[in-house]
Chain A
Amino acid sequence: MTCAEAEQLLDSFVDAELPGSMLLEVARHAGSCPACDQAVREMTTLRESVERVVRRQVEGVDLSGVWPAVERRIGRSGTRGVWRHVPRQLPVWGAVAALAAGALLWLRTPQPETVRVTHARPNQAVIERLVSSEGARVGIMKDRKYGTTLIMVSAPGEDTGQ
Chain B
Amino acid sequence: MKHQAARVVLIGLSAATVVLLAMAPVAHALSVQVTTVQASLEGPSDAQLLPFRPRLRRLVGYRAFRVIRVESRPCIWRTQEAFVIPGGRLLHVLPKGMREQAVVMQVQLLEGLRSLVDTDVRLQNRGVMLFGVDPERGPADGVLIIMLKAEE
CB within 8 Å of B: which residues of A?
7-8, 10-11, 15, 42-43, 46-47, 49-51, 53-54, 57-58, 91-94, 96-97, 99-102, 120, 122-133, 136, 138, 141, 143, 145-146, 148-156
Contacts and interface: CB of A to CB of B under 8 A. Distances in A.
Contacts of B121: 125-128, 149
B115 interface: yes
A57 B141 CA distance: 12
Contacts of B111: 155
Contact of B120 (A53, A91, A101, A129): A129
B124 A124 contact: yes
Interface of B: 41, 53-55, 57-63, 100, 102, 104, 109, 111, 114-124, 126-135, 138-140, 142-143, 145
B60 A150 contact: yes
B127 A123 contact: yes
Nearest to B56: A148
A93 to B, nearest CB: 5
Max chain A C-beta neighbours (<10 A), residue from B53, B63, B111, B123: B63
Contacts of A93: 60, 132, 134-135, 139, 142-143
Contacts of B116: 132-133, 136, 138, 153, 155
B114 A102 contact: no
Contacts of A99: 61
Contact of A96 (B60, B114, B119, B131): B60
Contacts of A154: 133-134
Contacts of B114: 133, 155
A57 B138 contact: yes
Given A43-B58, A50-B41, A130-B117, 14 more contacts: A49-B61, A58-B138, A58-B140, A92-B139, A96-B62, A97-B59, A124-B127, A125-B122, A132-B117, A148-B130, A150-B130, A150-B131, A151-B132, A152-B131
